[in-house]
Amino acid sequence: MISHGAPVVYFTFATLAAAGLPHAATTRHLPGARPFGDPVSPFGAEAAAALAPAGLDLARVAFARQMHGVDHARVTKAGHAGAVDILVTTERALPLAISTADCLAITAYDPEARALAVAHVGWRGTASGGAMATVAALVAGGARPERMRVTIGPSIGPCCYEVDEPVVTRFRHAHSRDWERWLQPGRPDHWMLDLWQANEDQLGAAGVPPGSIENARRCTACHPDLFYSYRRGDRGRLVTIAALP
């Protein structure tokens, strides 16, 4: 990832920058970000000014009420896109935004098909195949997995993400062949969950080449100087935003 500003206000990804995609993954230092869940744009005037160098028109931003699911919306205009966790568009210069604070932010882009998706994927979304659903939503819009450039933003890592038996049971039932690769025993009746590896594996299973996946591998819980973390008790949210050039 490439940092921007001092203090760092947002990051960009080399994979997406090389493809010419305007995008940003914000930090806790972004000014003018509105609380998650408001039925209005997550950005105020200060945020728009801070993110202007990224080439994003925040006056046109589209966003959603995130539900920890795998449903998607095809977005053609700015504003609230409904109760979904995956936003997809083929419209130029229409920024898509999702909010996170430990969950993964996945951005997927096919430059040839000019199709873009951003997704919010937590443990529930991972168990339900959110990464694969993101790829499938782009494919439905004319994209091909082998052409996609995909990034995974800062999110809670296997170093800090402790889960209990109900979560393990969900993964065991949904991913009987892979779940043991993603969960390591921790203290009694608890496990450490690797959402990074789980989603990389799911993207690969959906046909995205491993070399086309850029994972920040920055744990939100480990870096309170840069990120919000729900597990750490933060109420703020990070925003990942991207728009077709």
With respect to residue 166, please indicate whether it lies within any of the assigned structural domains.
no
Say what the pLDDT of residue 37 is: 60
Tell me the CA end-to-end span of the chain in Å, nearest whole number: 20
Cα gap 126→131, rounded to integer Å: 7
With respect to residue 39, please indicate whether it lies within any of the assigned structural domains.
yes
The sign of the torsion formed by the CA atoms of 100, 105, 111, 113 equals negative
Cα gap 22→97, rounded to integer Å: 12
Residue given tokens 């206000």 in the structure block: 9
Tell how strand 86-89 and strand 72-74 pair up: parallel
Q: Which residues of the chain have pLDDT under 70?
A: 35-39
Predicted structure pTM score = 0.96
With respect to residue 108, please indicate whether it lies within any of the assigned structural domains.
yes
Beta-ladder partners of 96: 62, 242
Tell how strand 79-80 and strand 62-63 pair up: parallel
With respect to residue 170, please indicate whether it lies within any of the assigned structural domains.
no
With respect to residue 97, please indicate whether it lies within any of the assigned structural domains.
yes
With respect to residue 196, please indicate whether it lies within any of the assigned structural domains.
no
Say what the pLDDT of residue 197 is: 98
Task: Encode pLDDT of 16-43 as tens digits.
Answer: 999 999 999 999 999 988 766 666 787 8
Q: What angle do CA 131, 134, 138 make, to 5 degrees?
A: 145
Owning domain of residue 95: 2-155+213-242
Q: What is the CATH number of the domain that holds 75?
A: 3.60.140.10
Asked if 16 contacts 151 with a C-beta cutoff of 8 angstroms, the reply is: yes
Task: Encode pLDDT of 130-159 as tens digits.
Answer: 999 999 999 999 999 999 999 999 999 999
Say what the pLDDT of residue 5 is: 85
Domain count across the chain: 1
Residue given tokens 């995008």 in the structure block: 23
With respect to residue 181, please indicate whether it lies within any of the assigned structural domains.
no
With respect to residue 126, please indicate whether it lies within any of the assigned structural domains.
yes
